[in-house]
Amino acid sequence: MDTITVQDLEVRYCVGVPAAERAQPQRLLLTIVMEHDFSAAAATDDLARTIDYFAVSRRLLRFGDGRSWRLIETLAVEIAELLRSEFGVARVTVEVKKFILPETRWVAVRVTRPQ
């Protein structure tokens, strides 16, 4: 399977277990690896036959509008489901990086969802 990777897309979502942490959007980095057969797109040079990664990034930038999550695990699963349902991604891996522990560079979760 062929892949498109969007590495460290910076988004601002309300996420965290304590309500105070969810009160304001915080910086998260999303890495998305989307698997799809690109042979038809490559043969025709047609954007409509592949995954439009610009459209994916715009959708993810808006995904948190008016929403909040307690767990980044839940967020990662919901993003994977969104990409499969709205963009027809055959298999997707979503990594969410959160900058919450001062002693670390980040904390991350990663989920993979096949079709």
On the question of pLDDT at 35 being above 70, the answer is yes
Whole-number average pLDDT of the chain: 96
Q: Flag whether the pTM goes above 0.85.
A: yes
Type of residue found at 20: A
The rounded distance, in Å, linking the Cα atoms of 18 and 85 is 30
On the question of pLDDT at 9 being above 90, the answer is yes
As a whole number, mean pLDDT of residues 83-106 equals 96
As a whole number, mean pLDDT of residues 3-27 equals 97
Q: Which domains does the chain have, with CATH numbers?
A: 2-114 (3.30.1130.10)
DSSP state of 23: S
- Residue 1: what pLDDT? 85
pLDDT over 90 for what percent of the chain?
98
Helix (H/G/I), strand (E/B), else coil: 96: strand
Q: Residue 115: which residues within 8 A CB-CB, separation 6 or more? A: 84, 89, 90, 91
